[in-house]
C-alpha cells in the first residue's frame, strides 16, 4: 500500500524509500548535508565515504562486519563532447539497507527511485525481497543501459566502413573519436565484469535467497557486452589500419606522378639552364647566335624538339617498365 512507503526527500537530492523492513537511500550529486545524514545514521568507514565522493576511484569491493562497500563504473556518452566518460556508483549494502551514491547522470537509477515513489508494484518488485536482491536489480538495470551505448559504437562502425574504402574522404577525426570511445567503453566494461563476477559470493551473509542464478544471468549480459565491445575494438583497429594504408598508397601515387613529371621535365630544364648561362656557348647570343634554315629561331626550335623527344623517350621507358 502507498502508506507503507515512507519516502521523503529529507535533503535535496536524497531519496529515502522504505518498504517493509528494507530502506533504500539514493543520493544524487552528494552534498555535505547528505553525507552528514549518512554519517549520523550509519557507521560507515570514513574512507568509504571519501571514496564515494570521488569520481575517479577504481571499481572495487570492500567487506566489513555489517556491510559491503561496492564501487562500480558505467559508461555515459557526453553528447556535447562526443566522448564516453565513466559514471561512478558507490553502494553500501547491509542486512536491511542499501545506500547508493552517484552523480545523477545514470537515467535508469534516477528513473527507478522516482518510479518507486508512485508505484507500489514496482516498489515491491525491487524492494520486496532484501537488500542484495535490490542490488542485483539496480546493477541489472545499469548493465542493460550499457547495451544502447555499445550498439551506438557498432552503428558508427558501419558508417565508417562505408567511407573507409574511399581514400579521398577525410574520416581521420571520426576514426579518432570512435576509437577513443571504444577504448573507454572497453576499459569500463572490463573493470565492471571483474567486480560483479566477485560480488555474489560475498552477499550470502546478508540474504537468505539464492541469487546465484540472477548474478549468473547478469554475468552473461556482461559477457555479451564484452564480446560486442571487443568486436568494436578489433574492427576499429582494422579500419584504422586500412584507412592509413589507403591514404599512404594515395600519397605514394601522388609522389610517384610528381617524381615522374619532374624527371620527364629534367632534360628541358638542363638545356634551358645551359642556354641561360652568361658565358659563350655554341649558338648562344654571346657568340652572335646562329642563323639556320629556320632563321634566328632555329636554335630555340632545336632545343624544344630535343627536349620533347627526350621527354617522350623517358615516358615510353617508364610505361614499358610499368612505372606509369
Tens digit of each residue's pLDDT (9 = 90 or more) over 284-310: 555 555 555 655 556 667 777 777 888
Q: Name the band, by pLDDT with cuts 50, 70 and 90, for residue 4.
A: very low
More confident residue, 127 or 303: 127
Closest to 233 measured CA to CA, from 151, 155, 153: 153
Residues 6+ apart with CB under 8 A from 226: 189, 190, 193
What number is the average pLDDT over the span 259-265? 79
Most confident of 82-91, 115-124, 270-279: 82-91
The residue behind cell 562505408 is: 162
Report the distance separating Cα 94 and Cα 82, nearest Å.
38
Q: Name the band, by pLDDT with cuts 50, 70 and 90, for residue 20.
A: confident
Confidence at residue 183, expressed as pLDDT on a 0 to 100 scale: 92
Most confident of 8-12, 115-119, 120-124, 264-268: 120-124
Mean pLDDT (the chain, rounded): 82
- pTM for the predicted model, two decimal places: 0.75
- Res 222 pLDDT > 50: yes
Q: Among 58-67, 202-211, 247-256, where is mean pLDDT lowest?
A: 247-256
Query: C-alpha 151: how far from its chain's center?
Result: 12
Altogether, the residues listed in the chain come to a count of 324
More confident residue, 222 or 240: 222
What number is the average pLDDT over the span 151-175? 80
> If you write DSSP's letter for every residue of 84-137 in order, what string do you get?
EEEEEEEEEE-SSEEEEEE-S--HHHHHHHHHHHH-HHHHHHHHSS-HHHHHHH
Residues 6+ apart with CB under 8 A from 48: 62, 69, 90, 92
Contact (CB, 8 A) for 29 and 101 = no
Q: Name the band, by pLDDT with cuts 50, 70 and 90, for residue 221.
A: very high
What number is the average pLDDT over the span 179-200? 92
- Res 92 pLDDT > 80: yes
Confidence at residue 162, expressed as pLDDT on a 0 to 100 scale: 76
Helices 298-320 and 266-275 pack at an angle, to 10 degrees, of 160
Closest to 77 measured CA to CA, from 172, 149, 156: 149
| Strand ranges (E), the chain | 14-19, 22-28, 60-63, 68-78, 83-93, 97-102
- Res 111 pLDDT > 80: yes
What number is the average pLDDT over the span 128-150? 91
- Res 127 pLDDT > 50: yes
The residue behind cell 574520416 is: 171
Q: Name the band, by pLDDT with cuts 50, 70 and 90, for residue 207.
A: confident
Report the distance separating Cα 242 and Cα 51, nearest Å.
43
Give bridge partners of residue 101 from the DSSP assignment.
27, 90
Amino acid at each position: 500500500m502507498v502508506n507503507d512507503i515512507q519516502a521523503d526527500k529529507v535533503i535535496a537530492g536524497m531519496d529515502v524509500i522504505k518498504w517493509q523492513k528494507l530502506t533504500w537511500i539514493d543520493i544524487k550529486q552528494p552534498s555535505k548535508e547528505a553525507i552528514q545524514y549518512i554519517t549520523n545514521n550509519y557507521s560507515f568507514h570514513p574512507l568509504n565515504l571519501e571514496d564515494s565522493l570521488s569520481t575517479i576511484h577504481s571499481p572495487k569491493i570492500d567487506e566489513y562486519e555489517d556491510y559491503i562497500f561496492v564501487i562500480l563504473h558505467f559508461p555515459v556518452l557526453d553528447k556535447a563532447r562526443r566522448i564516453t566518460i565513466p559514471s561512478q556508483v558507490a553502494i553500501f549494502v547491509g542486512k536491511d539497507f542499501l545506500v547508493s551514491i552517484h552523480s545523477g547522470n545514470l537515467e535508469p537509477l534516477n528513473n527507478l527511485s522516482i518510479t518507486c515513489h508512485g508505484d507500489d508494484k514496482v516498489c515491491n518488485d525491487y524492494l520486496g525481497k532484501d537488500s542484495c536482491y535490490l542490488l542485483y536489480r539496480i546493477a541489472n538495470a545499469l548493465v542493460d543501459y550499457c547495451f544502447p551505448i555499445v550498439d551506438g559504437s557498432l552503428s558508427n562502425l558501419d558508417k565508417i566502413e562505408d567511407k573507409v574504402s574511399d581514400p579521398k574522404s577525410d574520416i581521420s577525426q571520426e576514426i579518432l573519436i570512435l576509437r577513443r570511445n571504444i577504448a573507454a567503453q572497453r576499459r569500463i566494461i572490463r573493470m565492471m565484469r571483474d567486480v560483479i563476477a566477485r560480488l555474489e559470493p560475498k552477499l550470502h551473509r546478508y540474504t537468505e535467497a539464492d541469487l546465484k542464478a540472477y548474478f549468473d544471468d547478469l554475468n552473461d549480459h556482461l559477457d555479451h557486452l564484452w564480446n560486442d565491445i571487443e568486436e568494436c575494438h578489433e574492427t576499429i583497429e582494422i579500419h584504422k589500419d586500412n584507412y592509413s594504408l589507403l591514404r599512404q598508397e594515395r600519397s605514394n601515387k601522388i609522389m610517384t606522378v610528381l617524381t615522374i613529371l619532374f624527371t620527364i621535365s629534367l632534360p628541358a630544364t638542363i638545356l634551358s639552364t645551359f642556354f641561360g648561362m652568361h658565358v659563350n656557348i655554341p649558338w648562344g647570343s654571346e657568340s652572335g647566335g646562329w642563323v639556320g634554315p629556320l632563321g634566328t629561331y632555329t636554335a630555340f626550335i632545336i632545343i624544344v624538339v630535343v627536349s620533347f623527344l627526350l621527354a617522350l623517350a623517358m615516358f615510353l621507358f617508364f610505361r614499358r617498365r610499368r612505372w606509369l
